[in-house]
Structure 1
Amino acid sequence: MGILERINQPRDLRALNTLELKLLAQEIREEMIDVVSANGGHLAPNLGVVELTLALHRVFDSPIDKIIWDVGHQTYVHKLVTGRQKEFKSLRRHHGLSGFPKRAESPHDCFETGHSSTSISAAVGFAKARDLLQERSYVVAVIGDGAISGGMAYEALNHAGHGKTNLIVVLNDNEMAISPNVGAMSSYLSRLRTDPRYSRSKEEIEILLKRIPGIGNKVAKAAEKAKDSLKYLLVPGLWFEELGFTYLGPIDGHDQLLIEQTLELAKQRKGPVLVHVITKKGKGYPPAEKNPDIFHGVGPFNKETGEILKKSTIPTFTQVFGETLCRLGEANPKIVAITAAMAVGTGLNLFGKRFPDRFFDVGIAEQHAVTFASALAFGGMKPVVSIYSTFYQRAYDQVLHDVCLPKANVVLAIDRAGVVGDDGPTHHGVFDISILRVIPNLTFMAPKDENELQHMLYTALCQDGPVALRYPRSVGQGIPLDENLKELPIGKAEVLREGKDVALVGIGPMVYTCMAAAGELQSRGVEASVINLRFLNPLDKDTILRFARLTKRMVTIEDHMLAGGMGSAILETLADAGVTDVTVERLGYKDYVEQGSISLLHQENGLSVKGILGAVERLKVRQRLEGRNRG
């Protein structure tokens, strides 16, 4: 029996000796490589926190003590040692273990995460609740050097330091987030890593001063009064100290004994403490150490070679977006591109290599990215901001207030729209239509395929005022790309097929599902119209009303929530026009969507040919019942 098999709860770790801990760390890395090579997942961050996680669970008593993981990319080790070892092979599978902390899975997952920079805020909340209830426990937030650059983390640090709250923040510094870290905080942490006096704490310096014969105590007191000069010269972690934190580190994040000793020291301090640990992303697996960005979030791969198993030669929507933007950037020197620490994921790395002076990675700062883009636009540039749908939620006020209200010439590229697969509910992009289609001044469109995407991006850059462009994570339809780009008529839907019996209205790639369903319906003697709505704002009300009156039956299908989505917009249009004799069936999501492959989630939620056929049958039943009731 391996050591990992003996670990059923965190307390089992405390019985292990030094040699056993090293062997356990090796077993954990092997287990993670095995599972992630088959299932995909966040491998490199988890390989880097093995010793840190073991130390946390040996020093603290979870779940009484709260361990809060920022983002959640690094919680696989935590899952393995908190009673979920037998289920680990189901990681990120449908109905399996989540790739992120999930309260329903375990009492050791005290806070759910998936978006970055939240852990310190949560830690302050847990600590204040503990104090108000007069309980005794420790609260620990684990945050990466990428996530700590997010504005929310600064707000929480300020609150914790000002309130002198008893909590511990572990800064896991692996020198790399998903994309290389940028900004002043990254530079500051880099200086701390390379400072030869990094292990010297403020207290050690005071002890050294007091040892000076005869005058030591006076010098120490004078130094305290002159703390600005002394600390700037000798004490690392000054920025955190000025916020009210006791700073410990940096320390080697792969030295199990040193981490535990430092955490024990942190437990003895009053007020907020920051422990700075240096880890290596991808530790223990050479392919991940060499390419930590690729293995940050990776699909299935050959664990022997590290080679990624590619499933399709058809380009993704993201690839087509990135290549088209480069093409347009060649022709228009005013085009600039902005990402929030996701250059590769959004395809903007291509633009960044081609036009480095016109590319801006602002770090994990979606709010700043959008307002920054607005000012660039008013300064005479044509900014394109590319952010995942789920992360645009963080910048809603900036989109509403800083871009759309003043009609800034900004293109908001919404990548990863719709369900995204195995990352689950924190990462599905199924709320953007609801929150954006209601904003005045915002032109909002979605392409059915990769060819229409390139025309829509060109169209967006031709407009005056803000434009949002939503597209999925998936590969395209394999449609040839037109060489010449064209401007599409704003607010005009595309009628792909006309039939008198029912109108199928789709947005994005769901249009192809509508076309396939129309073919099946024809074989059953039902003539279906198919409408590619294209624009969510402005809506092509004339086309909607024309086909509603023609067919009296409509099915809407969208890779999005039903509440406030495209189907809701069509119902509003019919109601406003006083059309009451049309029966509508809407297909979409009714609740948070769990993890699973994109195709499986579509099938499970009726976003399929079978789902459309079922909706058409329900329309017939409803109309018969309504006819009887009227009779």
Structure 2
Amino acid sequence: MSVLDQVNSPADVKKLSNEALEELASDVRRAVLNKVSQVGGHVGPNLGVTELTIALHRVFHSPIDKFIWDVSHQTYPHKILTGRKEGFVTGHFHEITPYTSQEESEHDFFTVGHTSTSVANALGFAKARDLTHQSGNVIAILGDGSFSGGLALEALNNAGQFDGNLIIIMNDNDMSIAENHGGLYPHLASLRQSNGTAKNNIFKAFGLDYRYLESGNDIQALIALFEEVKDCDHPIVLHIHTVKGLGYEPALKNKENWHWHVPFDLETGVSLSPSSNKESYSSILMDYMDQKMQEGQPILAINAAIPAAYNLKDFAHKYPDHYWDAGIAEQFTITFGGAAALNGAKSFIFHNSTFVQRAFDQFVHDLAINHEPAIVFIKGDVISSSDQTHQGDFARGWLSNIPNLIYLAPTSKEELLNILDWAMTQDENPVVINIPEHGVEHRLSALTDFKKPAYQLEKQGQNVAVLGLGGMFSQAEKVVLELQKSGIEATLVNPIFVSSLDCDFLSALTTHHQVLATFEDGVLDGGFGQKVASFLGQSPIKVLNFGADKEFNEEVPVSELYQRYHLTPELAAKDILSALQN
């Protein structure tokens, strides 16, 4: 029997001998690796905090003492020790979410998948605890690059004026998702090198008490530190140096690749789904940027700690002065990149939809109001089976309603390149480009000016018009083929423009069509289809919108979502035929 077999709650951790705690750490690591090797997940961050998590549950009394985790990249050991080990050792992998969830356990207090929230959440809990005369420690666990996020710094600033119990653990593994960037991290390095005694100390500058622990993977040292600060009457930062990926050699050798990993062979570390050499939109973008650099264009490639999402590393190595990784700071990238574009640089800003929503104000107040001609690329704005914290299909709704901003959804490599050539020469508007997520497609593209909306007629038909936006164009093509089985020769349209309508084109469609159907790869509310329906509201044509409902989804398979939203060719064609008959 392993030690983990004896642990079903935090209370069981308190019963173990010191020697058994070391065995428990090995068991927890094996459980983490068992799950992530079979279904994928966060590897390095969880392996690095195993001892820290055990020590927390040894000293404190969860859920009376509240552990407020940042990002949830580091919570697998916590889940294993709080009654959820079946989701790691017995194959019930998908019954336990990848992130903290108060609906899943009394030991979790927030559903969190984005970064830099822990200190603000913990401070809110601590303030409410004191106002309502509750008891217990409140502990924020900050780490894995979260320190660079503006919300974390805002929260630390506010924590400095708090006068009650608040313990902030700075889990310093010298990494973000990728390597760290920014002046904060050499500062942390100097604190590590001086064993916490460096003269400059940002935490003390915020008015916070401070302790440093070099041996952050030593359970007994961690226990001693936590016992020292338990029940403290003021905010304190525990700066703890841990090793990301500890306990699995591949994760130690390549910490960035093993931050999160697809399923892999546990013995060799080889991915079970080998990478493809097929052409991708990321490779197309990198080739384009390289070409423009050779032509002498002042390109500035900007991202917020996700270089792997666009394969930016080669560009960064080849053109280091033309690359800027801002760390986890999406707001900064938009304001910084927009200002650079306004002053003559060709700003290419790369984002994932689920993260860039944190920069909404910067899109409005900086990019759009100031007509800054930056080019922003957005991936992941699609209907997918992600967990709800990383659901990315909302971007169309909020971005497409910002004035001055031109939002485009290419359907092919050729359209993307035409858009880039145009966007590189215009200097009047910010341009947002939605990257298709359904594989690279090729089709002729005659449109070269994207200042004003101009829909592209791909197939002339009658009675029914089908508009397929961006990555959903291929799905719209399948719907048109399905309608042919019922004798309907539908018109097929590629709108390209997300944020503005080709009103003349739409008005012309009403002459020979009774039903118009729009398809988009995101939430319908506030999106492209609703704009079309609103414009045509006074015309006799019936408008159907196909896309996602406004709802959060927790790892629902895409096939199930397509059925739910009638996005399959069969269900969509059935709805269109019904509307045509009525």
Q: TM-score, normalised by structure 2?
A: 0.94
Query: Post-superposition shift, 1:307?
Result: 1.5
Kindly name which structure, 1 or 2, has the bigger radius of gyration based on alpha carbons.
1
In structure 2, distance between residues paired with 1:347 and 1:311 = 13
Q: Say which SS state the counterpart of residue 115 (structure 2) adopts.
A: coil
8 Å CA contact retained: 1:504, 1:530: yes
8 Å CA contact retained: 2:546, 2:567: no
8 Å CA contact retained: 2:40, 2:262: yes
8 Å CA contact retained: 1:458, 1:485: no
Q: 1:47 to 1:604 in 2, by over 3 A?
A: farther
In structure 1, distance between residues paired with 2:251 and 2:241 = 17
Q: Say which SS state the counterpart of residue 233 (structure 2) adopts.
A: coil
Q: 1:304 to 1:461 in 2, by over 3 A?
A: same
Deviations 1:346-396 (A, max 9, x none): 333232122111111111111111111122122211211111112221111
Q: Say which SS state the counterpart of residue 552 (structure 1) adopts.
A: strand
In structure 2, distance between residues paired with 1:594 and 1:328 = 41
Q: Say which SS state the counterpart of residue 345 (structure 1) adopts.
A: helix
Answering whether residue 105 of structure 2 is matched by residue 106 of structure 1, we say: yes
Deviations 1:185-236 (A, max 9, x none): 10110111111x44xxxxxxxxxxxxxxxxxxxxxxxxxxxxxxxxxxx566
Q: Tell me the residue number matched to 2:3.
A: 3
Answering whether residue 488 of structure 2 is matched by residue 526 of structure 1, we say: yes
Q: Tell me the residue number matched to 1:18.
A: 18
In structure 1, distance between residues paired with 2:461 and 2:252 = 57
In structure 1, distance between residues paired with 2:406 and 2:25 = 52
Q: Which moved more, 1:342-351 or 1:165-174?
A: 342-351
Residue of structure 2 aligned with 1:487, choices 418, 430, 448: 448
Answering whether residue 236 of structure 2 is matched by residue 277 of structure 1, we say: no
Q: 1:278 to 1:466 in 2, by over 3 A?
A: same
8 Å CA contact retained: 1:90, 1:97: no
The sequence identity of aligned pairs, in percent, is 36
Cα RMSD of the aligned pairs, angstroms, is 2.3
Deviations 1:54-80 (A, max 9, x none): 111121211121111111111111111
Answering whether residue 409 of structure 2 is matched by residue 443 of structure 1, we say: no
1:228-627 alignment, distance < 5 Å: 238-308=201-271, 309-310=273-274, 312-422=276-386, 424-464=387-427, 465-472=429-436, 474=437, 476-477=439-440, 479=441, 487-490=448-451, 491-575=453-537, 578-620=538-580, 624=582
8 Å CA contact retained: 2:412, 2:442: no
8 Å CA contact retained: 1:39, 1:92: no
In structure 1, distance between residues paired with 2:175 and 2:74 = 13
8 Å CA contact retained: 2:34, 2:88: no
In structure 2, distance between residues paired with 1:595 and 1:568 = 26
8 Å CA contact retained: 2:53, 2:78: yes
Deviations 1:260-291 (A, max 9, x none): 11011111432101111111111111011101
In structure 1, distance between residues paired with 2:90 and 2:414 = 37
Q: 1:13 to 1:561 in 2, by over 3 A?
A: same
Q: Say which SS state the counterpart of residue 270 (structure 1) adopts.
A: coil
Deviations 1:298-329 (A, max 9, x none): 11222221122226443333333333333333
In structure 2, distance between residues paired with 1:66 and 1:266 = 15
The alignment of Structure 1 onto Structure 2 pairs a total of residues equal to 579
Query: Post-superposition shift, 1:96?
Result: 3.2
Q: 1:35 to 1:452 in 2, by over 3 A?
A: farther
Q: 1:91 to 1:402 in 2, by over 3 A?
A: farther
Query: Post-superposition shift, 1:89?
Result: 6.5
Q: 1:395 to 1:585 in 2, by over 3 A?
A: closer
Q: Say which SS state the counterpart of residue 536 (structure 1) adopts.
A: coil
Q: 1:12 to 1:160 in 2, by over 3 A?
A: same
8 Å CA contact retained: 1:328, 1:458: no
8 Å CA contact retained: 1:500, 1:551: yes
Query: Post-superposition shift, 1:494?
Result: 2.1
8 Å CA contact retained: 1:457, 1:469: no
Q: 1:492 to 1:247 in 2, by over 3 A?
A: same
Q: Say which SS state the counterpart of residue 531 (structure 2) adopts.
A: helix
Q: 1:100 to 1:505 in 2, by over 3 A?
A: same
8 Å CA contact retained: 1:174, 1:281: yes
Q: Say which SS state the counterpart of residue 390 (structure 2) adopts.
A: coil
In structure 2, distance between residues paired with 1:89 and 1:462 = 56
**AA aligned opposite 1:374:** G
In structure 2, distance between residues paired with 1:388 and 1:522 = 37
Uncovered stretches (5+) of structure 2, i.e. residues with no partner: none
8 Å CA contact retained: 1:326, 1:350: no
Q: Tell me the residue number matched to 2:146.
A: 147
Q: 1:563 to 1:481 in 2, by over 3 A?
A: closer
8 Å CA contact retained: 1:28, 1:77: yes
8 Å CA contact retained: 2:516, 2:541: no
Answering whether residue 159 of structure 2 is matched by residue 160 of structure 1, we say: yes
Runs of 4+ in 1 over 4 A off after TM superposition: 89-93, 234-237, 596-600
Query: Post-superposition shift, 1:83?
Result: 1.3
Query: Post-superposition shift, 1:592?
Result: 1.4
In structure 1, distance between residues paired with 2:107 and 2:521 = 33
8 Å CA contact retained: 1:91, 1:99: no
Answering whether residue 172 of structure 2 is matched by residue 173 of structure 1, we say: yes
In structure 2, distance between residues paired with 1:86 and 1:237 = 45
Query: Post-superposition shift, 1:84?
Result: 1.3
Query: Post-superposition shift, 1:437?
Result: 1.0
Q: Which moved more, 1:83-92 or 1:52-61?
A: 83-92
In structure 1, distance between residues paired with 2:383 and 2:69 = 24
**AA aligned opposite 2:381:** A
8 Å CA contact retained: 1:502, 1:552: yes
Deviations 1:513-556 (A, max 9, x none): 11112112212222222222111133222222322442211222
In structure 2, distance between residues paired with 1:455 and 1:41 = 37
